[in-house]
Amino acid sequence: MTAENAPKDGMEDTMRALVIDDSRAMRMLLKRELVALGFEVFEAGDGNEALTRLAELGPVDVVLVDWTMAGMDGMTFVHQIRSDPAYEEMRVLMITSESDPAQIFHALMAGVDEYATKPITREALSEKLGLVGLVEQD
């Protein structure tokens, strides 16, 4: 199902997020924060599962992806979606424990819109979402 033929249920103004992390606890934490910010949240445990979810959902407003995961890692996922025109409008936030400046540069060059290191607070998440134009800044 694509975004064009998705059913209209009065919720089309609700922003949608996909959280991709192999840690269930991290997915739950990010989901809680995103729901508090008004997002409808979907989850995936790795990049392969995330691609399947996107095929079902169509593009979402934002993807929050971890770098290091079993299965398909975050960078491979980013390369996959950035090579597909259907997902060019999606914002991508990489939220990971990788803090090496060279790694951050590599992620940004691959098409990540914003980068944050774990642990991330609600304020920091809100700021990153604001920087990509999805949440109003105070």
How do residues 76-101 score in pLDDT, each as one tens digit?
A: 999 999 999 999 999 999 999 989 99
CA angle 98, 29, 69 (to 5 degrees): 40
Model confidence at 9: pLDDT above 80: no
pLDDT at 136: 84
Query: What value does the mean pLDDT take over residues 3-19?
Result: 65
Model confidence at 107: pLDDT above 70: yes
Model confidence at 115: pLDDT above 50: yes
74-82 vs 101-110: helix crossing angle, rounded to 10 = 30
Q: Global pTM?
A: 0.89
- CA pseudo-torsion sign 15, 40, 83, 75: positive
Radius of gyration of the chain (CA): 14
How long a stretch of residues is the chain? 138
pLDDT at 130: 95
> Which residues are CB-contacts of 81 (< 8 A; sequence separation ≥ 6)?
51, 54, 63, 87, 90, 92, 111
Write the DSSP string, 47-114. HHHHHHHHHHH---SEEEE-S--SSS-HHHHHHHHHT-GGGTT-EEEEEES---HHHHHHHHHHT-SE
How far is it, in rounded angstroms, from Cα 128 to Cα 134? 9
* Percentage of residues of the chain with pLDDT beyond 90: 83
Query: What value does the mean pLDDT take over residues 32-50?
Result: 96
**Two tokens, residue 16:** 């949608």
Model confidence at 12: pLDDT above 70: no
